[in-house]
Amino acid sequence: QVQLVESGGGLVQAGGSLRLSCAASGRVFSIVVMGWYRQAPGKQREFVASITNGGSTNYADSVKGRFTISRDNTKNTVYVQMNSLKPEDTAAYYCNAHDVGSFNYWGQGTQVTVSS
């Protein structure tokens, strides 16, 4: 089992920045990819960004150039730095970990609200 705990959400004005953190515990050695997803009210959960154990990153087109995902393997923590935030970035953000057995783990979510 892998446990994920997110932090760093909040309320920010458009154009501002936030950094989300996700700390993993448990069978962290089994994780191959970690990432972030988000879900706005009335919408489906969507991919935001991911990073592999080797450091390869992938981003949704909607956040490219504004969001940066990174990881600190010594702390088993993944981050997403979110700059130039827009009201449409408002959502609950969920941390995801994908393990070698193709099982997905999810955090409890953290709310990001961007005011116009």
Interior angle at CA 2, CA 51 and CA 109, nearest 5: 70
Return the H-helix or E-strand segment holding 109. Answer: none
* Closest to 81 in 3D by CA, of 100, 93, 67, 95: 67
Predicted local distance difference test score (pLDDT) of residue 10 = 97
Confidence of residue 115 (pLDDT cuts 50, 70, 90): very high
Q: What is the mean pLDDT of the chain?
A: 96
Condensed to tens digits (0 to 9), the pLDDT of residues 31-86 reads: 999 999 999 999 999 999 999 999 999 999 999 999 999 999 999 999 999 999 99
* Closest to 76 in 3D by CA, of 47, 102, 93, 97: 97
* Closest to 33 in 3D by CA, of 110, 109, 100, 108: 100
Condensed to tens digits (0 to 9), the pLDDT of residues 86-97 reads: 999 999 999 999
